[in-house]
Amino acid sequence: MPRRHQPRTFDLWGVPFDGGSTLGWPGSRYAPARVREALGWITQRIENGAIYSLDSDSVHEVGDDLLRDRGDVDVVGHDIHATLDACSAAVADSLREGRSPIVIGGDDSVLFPCARGVHEALPGRVGVIHFDAHLDLMDHNRYQGRVSQSSGMRRSLELDRINADDCIQVAVRHFNFPSSATFKRTSGLPHITAREFQALGPVSAVEQILDRVSGADHLFLSFDIDAIDPAFAPGAGAHEPGGLTSGEALEAVRLLAPHCDAFAVTEVNPLTDHPTSTTATLTAYLLFHFAVFGAGGARR
């Protein structure tokens, strides 16, 4: 399991791109701006470098540089490869500077360049903890090509030091392509369904997740917002009923944060969100939970 140098600080990157949304609803290009707006409501509660968590009844010393907004990566709207290369470079730059990247997508084509950025910047085995309603194991089809919102996990597993032995998919449900089932079974990539996660509860589910990826030297946590039930997160690229509750998702991120080197939330779609930005606000809380509980500073 990765060793952490504490306390950690974080870089926030936006990827306002939905050119990989060849299925589902486009619109996630608007997510970074909307999530930043919601995040400002939360971060204003930091006083003298500290924030009080009611859930843990503790004051976290987070300092004055917990979450540095690095702006948006260099998106090239007509060129998915140039955009994803820029995303990888941003993630790698943060890690090389000793900071942990937090990425706001963008569609879930962002999964692959984030994993690649971790792979490029850090040595050893890299594991991916992938929360998503879908498998994202598409190899190629005529509608999506090889790089899309449906192929991020498949492309990540083609990198030299990312192996299925160090990865797990969480909150998957309903139906997917038979070819993806074949790949999963052949590669040994496991999953925990949304129903199984809920039966276990967040604490036991996270214990199983961390046991699975314990051989990795570094971990990337990728969170497609449709892992959460659309009742709690209507602003998504696709609606799959039966997902996690917002409380379960927040608890899972809180528990996983100390173990993960990078975090990305994808497929947040303001065009399908509630008018009061329910999903963008939930996303902002996911990001802030990752930073506060992943920082590892003193508590009082």
Biggest distance spanned by C-alpha atoms of the chain: 56
pLDDT at 176: 92
Q: What is the pLDDT confidence band of residue 120, given thresholds at 50, 70 and 90? A: very high
pLDDT at 21: 87
**What are the structure tokens assigned to 176, written together?**
């997917």
Instruction: Tell me what the mean pLDDT of segment 143-148 comes to.
Output: 76
Residue 293 confidence (pLDDT) above 70: yes
Nearest one of 165, 168, 92 to 125, comparing CA atoms: 165
Which domains occur in the chain, in start order?
10-296 (3.40.800.10)
pLDDT digits (tens, 9 = 90+) for 196-244: 999 999 999 999 999 999 999 999 999 999 999 999 999 999 999 999 9
pLDDT at 4: 47
pLDDT at 20: 87
Q: 219: part of which helix (H) or strand (E)?
A: strand 218-224
Query: Which DSSP string do the residues of 259-286 spell out, in sequence order?
Result: G-SEEEEE-B-TTTS-TT-HHHHHHHHH
pLDDT at 5: 45
Burial 23-39 (b: 16+ CB within 10 A, else e): bbbbbbbbbbebbbebb
